[in-house]
Amino acid sequence: MNLCTNAIHAMEEKGGILKVSLANVAIRDDGSSERHYVRLNVRDTGVGISPEAMEKVFDPYFTTKAPDKGTGLGLAIVHRIVQSHNGVIRIGSKPDEGTDIEILFPMVEKYVHPDTGNLEAPATGKGHILFVDDEELLADVGKHLLEKLGYTVTTFKEPTESSCSFKSQPDVFDILITDMDMPDMNGVQLIREILKIRQIPVIITTGFSENITREEAAKSGVSELLMKPLTLHDLAASVQKVIKRIASFEICRRFFLLTITAYFIIEFNSSVFRNINNMTEHDKTALQRAESLSAQRQDILSLASDKKADAILDYPHPAALVHSFPEGDFHFLIHEIGIGDSLELLGLASERQWEYLTDIDIWKKDMLEINSLTRWLYLFISANPKQTMRWCLDKKTELIEPYLFHNIDLTIREHDQDPSDFGDGFFTFDDIFYVRFKDNISDVEVREQRDEFLHEFLKRLIDYNHEEFQYILMESFGVIPSESEEEAWRLRNIRLAEKGFVPFYEAVGIYQPVSVRELNTRVKRLSRIRNDSFLPVPMYAINELGEDNLFTRALTIINIEDILHQIQSEFASLCNHIISADGKTIRDKDSLKSVVRKACGYLSIGLEQLDDKHKKADMPKDRFAAALIQRYHLNDIFRVGYGQAMKLRWQAEKWRKSCWFENAGLPLAFWEEEWLGVLGGLLLQKPLYFDNYKTGVIYREFQSSDDIAESSAAFEKKIMAFDNLLSRMNIRLGKVSRNRLSCKNLILTLWARHHLNMPEEVSAIGLDEFAKFFNELWITIQTPQSASRAKQAFLSWISDKSNISSDELTQTLGQCFELMFGEIESEYGEVSQKNLDRRYIRLFLVK
């Protein structure tokens, strides 16, 4: 077909004769055996071919035709096809005498299976490739081949447009593939513009070998030179060669083509870091830029919330600064400034930062929150429509398709169907697919945002590619929402795991106690050599270290910047583990501060436990703690500290199984407010310290070993000791309501009944009898000497009743008894006998 088309073009002006013949021929070469061929002959009487053109007739893209008549690929492809079949192609031509083309194919007498033993399948991969070619057909072919290999491809016909797109989002693309010969700007010029923005692997394609040599290409920053026409195997091999070349660099950043964007993994191993003297000049420059951006980020985070956005936008390169924010820090920044006030920052953000925002905010456990997704999609398309379209179509189909399923009704019009039959609310962009937004959102604002996003999304989609528009709509109604959401949830967990947000069943391991002895086998390694990692260090978590504790004091002693950065990243990962384990969604600084406070508290407790070695080391406590956080993983130190709280919980649970009050069927409220607070905090699944509003809350996390010691003393020396006392007093509870009893009114009522010579059983005292006791008691405790005799009488009675010596009782519970008598004086000291009312008597059982 190609040969005949060429012949027709050659005879287009003056006309002529085209002859096509096919015959079996036998040819004997130099006396050898006769060989049989099938001969295809195409002859025309057109303008012919000049001798100069005959030398290039098989070169790709060489053509003597007008631009709209051919691309110059036809004869090159024919030549390659003939050669691949071990055939021969001959061309005879003279100007104005026509052209004679003869093709000889070896004749096959029987079918022979081709030997494919040495033909390997083309290598596949993942990543985002920027493909530039001024020929639309060739750009489409390149995109098709690369997508067949598994890559995401964005194509441009105009080099200037591709340069602007790369400049607006430099971290989106992983590889540049560009044609050499293009109008306005050739491939080398485009490469220079791109490499000024960011270093990226480059593959250049050309159909004319004399236009650029491999040496010239290498000097221009080209990684691979690929001759046209492009084939699947050549393209796959070139891309893989570039990837392997990148992977050979032993630097901290890892280039992942298996994911959409590049993620970095910090390994605290000195082999990861290289001495700066071994860096290339490019690496040194990049590291300096990273350090400059890091300092700028630190300055911005120290500003007031209402000044941060302006400071970023006033920076000479705001896009680079926004992209340099770690995803977690950017998430907190957006929420701190206010989502509605951060539209410009969202427009500058990278796709990976968008992805993190949605990964954190649109899920409630494993359930997709459609309203939250709507808000973010509306913000994204308002901030950066082009990036939103690309992001949704290339990387978020697992979310967009079920989202469309939930939010639109779709009807396809038949050719003879009247649209009025569909009902109210349907509209169309192409008179084929009719869409209506569902009335399934009660929130008016969210519904308006949903409608605006969907209308803009569908309009841009059909303008971009009508076939893609139809495909997306059809696919959205073929999905099973539960399966799509499950897959989206799975991918979300994989992405967040790289940030320290491991799944709950893994993250909860942070609360698994570890002993000091086990810690000696879990030593980490930190490098003192300046590292060449361009990974931005998370700052928000470390910036919330405002309180004075052993961990923060230890950090101030470490003055090696690289070690501090490693600990800073490790601390951010620890906080993320805690967030995952607690099932929290952190959107503001106050919520983050509570996580940071929790991490610092248990790290300090762990360091204090490890400080037993301090007695053997001749150094201050804080300095020894600084050495410990460089030697051991922060996760493990945290687990040592948390283990101290868990020991209290285990002790409380074990005691509760055999204690007197539990066997008596009494509720926890029996121990009254203070002791109930201590005991209740220890019996929680994750034990808490009973603060009793000293710092504004009733419960909080343990912050120091003093908190552990205080809770332990309250439990062992008060609650356990008091329960032991009651267990030895042979108390008969009788029919009294258990809900009325408390540790104080129980023992004081028994004492009052003993004083009144009433049976010593747990039963309410009549108001008249209690008035007599009250009068005698008040007269007794009005003077210090009399009060002492009353307390001594009380102590003697308890000693006789429990068979515990007075000295032992004084030593274990003396302070509790003193507080109890002080409480009696405080509550009843100003009450006269005639004003006694049983409704207000709390410390005794009165009827």
DSSP string, 712-751: HHIIIIIIIHHHHHHHTTT---TT--GGG--HHHHHHHHH
Domain boundaries, the chain: 2-106, 128-247, 303-349, 352-499, 506-631, 659-719, 738-840
* Residue 643 pLDDT exceeds 90: yes
pLDDT band for position 362 (cuts 50, 70, 90)? very high
Average pLDDT of the residues in 556-575: 83
The predicted pLDDT at position 560 comes to 78
How far apart (Å, rounded) are the C-alpha atoms in residues 353 and 361? 12
In terms of C-beta distances under 8 Å and separation of at least 24 residues, what long-range contacts does 512-516 make, across chains too? 512/639, 513/639, 513/640, 513/642, 513/643, 513/646, 513/647, 514/636, 514/639, 514/640, 514/643, 515/640, 515/643, 516/609, 516/610, 516/612, 516/640
How far apart (Å, rounded) are the C-alpha atoms in residues 599 and 496? 20
Nearest Cα residue to 668 out of 749, 677, 816: 677
What percentage of the chain has pLDDT greater than the value 90?
A: 29
Q: Determine if the pTM surpasses 0.95.
A: no
Average pLDDT of the residues in 702-714: 94
pLDDT single digits (tens) 439-487: 999 999 999 999 999 999 999 999 988 888 998 999 888 888 888 888 8
What type of residue is 636? Answer: D
Burial class, 113, CB count within 10 angstroms (exposed 0-12 / middle 13-18 / buried 19+): exposed
* Class of domain 128-247 as given by CATH: alpha beta
Residue 699 belongs to what H/E stretch? strand 699-700
pLDDT band for position 110 (cuts 50, 70, 90)? low
pLDDT single digits (tens) 672-705: 888 999 999 999 999 999 999 998 999 999 999 9
Average pLDDT of the residues in 492-520: 85
CATH of domain 2-106: 3.30.565.10
pLDDT single digits (tens) 768-800: 888 888 877 765 555 555 567 778 888 999 999
Residue 782 belongs to what H/E stretch? none
* Residue 44 pLDDT exceeds 50: yes
Q: What is the DSSP letter of 523?
A: B
What type of residue is 295? Answer: A
Burial class, 334, CB count within 10 angstroms (exposed 0-12 / middle 13-18 / buried 19+): buried
How would you classify the pairing of strands 202-206 and 175-179? parallel
Nearest Cα residue to 744 out of 830, 638, 839, 822: 822
* Residue 377 pLDDT exceeds 90: yes
pLDDT band for position 354 (cuts 50, 70, 90)? very high
* Residue 119 pLDDT exceeds 80: no
Fold agreement between 2-106 and 128-247: no
pLDDT single digits (tens) 132-181: 998 888 888 888 888 888 888 999 988 888 888 888 788 788 899 998 88
3-class secondary-structure state, position 241? helix
Nearest Cα residue to 215 out of 188, 242, 177, 194: 188
The predicted pLDDT at position 640 comes to 94
How far apart (Å, rounded) are the C-alpha atoms in residues 734 and 751? 16
Alpha helix positions (H), 550-620: 550-557, 561-582, 589-610
Mean pLDDT, all residues of the chain = 82
How far apart (Å, rounded) are the C-alpha atoms in residues 699 and 702? 9
The predicted pLDDT at position 534 comes to 45
The predicted pLDDT at position 68 comes to 56
Average pLDDT of the residues in 22-38: 77
Task: Compute the chain's Rg from CA coordinates.
Answer: 41
Average pLDDT of the residues in 178-186: 85
**637, 550 Cβ separation under 8 angstroms:** no
Across 106-115, 606-615, 677-686, least confident range:
106-115
How would you classify the pairing of strands 175-179 and 128-132? parallel
**48, 99 Cβ separation under 8 angstroms:** yes
Average pLDDT of the residues in 422-445: 92
Q: What is the DSSP letter of 200?
A: -
Alpha helix positions (H), 477-519: 481-497, 504-507, 516-519
User: CA end-to-end span of the chain, whole Å?
Assistant: 113
Sequence-distant (≥ 6) Cβ neighbours of residue 368 within 8 angstroms: 362, 399, 402, 485, 488, 489
Residue 475 belongs to what H/E stretch? helix 466-476
Query: Which tokens sit at 19?
Result: 């002859």
* Residue 818 pLDDT exceeds 50: yes
* Residue 70 pLDDT exceeds 80: no
How far apart (Å, rounded) are the C-alpha atoms in residues 576 and 384? 29
- Checking phi first, is residue 38 left (phi over 0); if not, alpha (psi -120 to 50) or beta? beta
pLDDT band for position 651 (cuts 50, 70, 90)? very high
If you write DSSP's letter for every residue of 354-410 in order, what string do you get? HHHHHHHHSEETTEE-HHHHHHHHHHHHHH-HHHHHHHHHHH-HHHHHHHHHHHEEE
pLDDT single digits (tens) 249-264: 433 333 332 222 333 3
- Peptide bond preceding 513: is omega within 30 degrees of 0, i.e. cis? no
Give the Å distances, CA to CA, from 708 to 571, 626, 646, 685, 700: 23, 22, 10, 16, 12
Average pLDDT of the residues in 547-575: 84
Nearest Cα residue to 549 out of 513, 585, 587, 602: 602
**331, 342 Cβ separation under 8 angstroms:** no
Across 297-311, 540-554, 582-596, 635-649, least confident range:
540-554
The predicted pLDDT at position 251 comes to 34
How far apart (Å, rounded) are the C-alpha atoms in residues 52 and 755? 131
**57, 93 Cβ separation under 8 angstroms:** no
Average pLDDT of the residues in 265-288: 52
How far apart (Å, rounded) are the C-alpha atoms in residues 297 and 275? 25
Alpha helix positions (H), 250-350: 281-301, 305-313, 318-324, 327-337, 343-348
For Cα atoms 384, 389, 392, give the angle at the middle one, nearest 5 degrees: 115
What type of residue is 753? Answer: R
